[in-house]
Amino acid sequence: MASILIKISGYLLIILLGAILRRIGFFKKELARTIGVLVVTVTLPASLIRNSPSIVIGSELPKLFLFAIFASSLTLFGGYLLAKRKREPKTAALMLSTSTFNVGAFLLPFVELFYPGAGVGYLCMFDSGNSIMGLGISYVLAKSASNPKASLTFGSILKTLLHSVPFMTYVVLFVLAFLQIRLSDFILEYAGMIGNANAFLTMFMIGLMIELKLPKAEIREICKVIALRYALIVLLIGILMILPSMDPFVKLIAALCLFAPVATASVVYAMECGYQGELVSMVSTLTMLISIAAIILIILGFGQSYIAI
């Protein structure tokens, strides 16, 4: 247990460093968006490539893939109902803050630390389905719900997915895994050099983003979103636990994925849907804090026997 806490404390210190440097004025919160772009387009794909040998096309792939799509769809619909099915920008904000899961950028460093190899492979399987929703379909549906005149087409969904670097990285890596083509050691080594920065940049970005001052005008809605999100996550965990013929370790990784915070891209997506409030960014911040606590509890309570020390 001591080694677990030491490893987690390292990440927490990086988050704290980002928060302190922002607090004393050394960096501004806006830097988090720049780092986020760097993470999503460079270090995260590199980290996925580095871990590509752990991706195996097995019987768990369709289960995790479909479960991720189901989880995103259920929570997305929950956000739509919370908005009372109105066609306005706030509906998009509620849908995106209830449904998206920041698996690749936020959770991957934790899983790489404690469950390298198979754990990362299972995470990628879940996140492939999660990326289809969070980086494409969920955004398009939210955009459609934000405007009565908006139209939803297959082309708009496909265009969004094709412009997502992490999603396209997943597609290429899974195709290579299906064809049993292994990337050369040269590529893996250089991807590792870049990917090693992913954990630090991600945690530092989180530190820059953390904002504990809640806007009074939206406190009630923020609480509603948080309550609904985690009520649905508890329901999904219950469904996950009773799924037959799924390895307990796979269920552990899927449970960690469900407790990932709201995707940082949702803040940008909500603005693109016309929303100008702080609800999504605040929910993203609060779910980061909740996620850190949940990850620690899950690992300490259920995942110690699988840890690679």
AA identity, residue 117? G
pLDDT value, residue 149: 66
> What is the residue-wise DSSP string for the chain?
-HHHHHHHHHHHHHHHHHHHHHHTTSS-TTHHHHHHHHIIIIIHHHHHHHTGGG----THHHHHHHHHHHHHHHHHHHHHHHTTT--SHHHHHHHHHHH---IIIIIHHHHHHHSTTHHHHHHHHHHHHHHHIIIIIHHHHHHHHT-TT----HHHHHHHHHT-HHHHHHHHHHHHHHTTPPPPHHHHHHHHHHHTHHHHHHHHHHHHH------GGGHHHHHHHHHHHHHHHHHHHHHHHH-TT--HHHHHHHHHHHT----THHHHHHHHTT--SSHHHHHHHHHHHHHHHHHHHHHHHH-GGG---
pLDDT value, residue 258: 94
pLDDT value, residue 228: 94
What is the mean pLDDT for each group of 10 consecutive residues in the chain (309 residues)?
Answer: 64 84 86 81 85 75 89 93 82 88 82 83 86 79 75 71 79 85 89 86 78 72 91 94 86 92 76 76 82 86 65
Q: Confirm whether pTM is higher than 0.85.
A: no
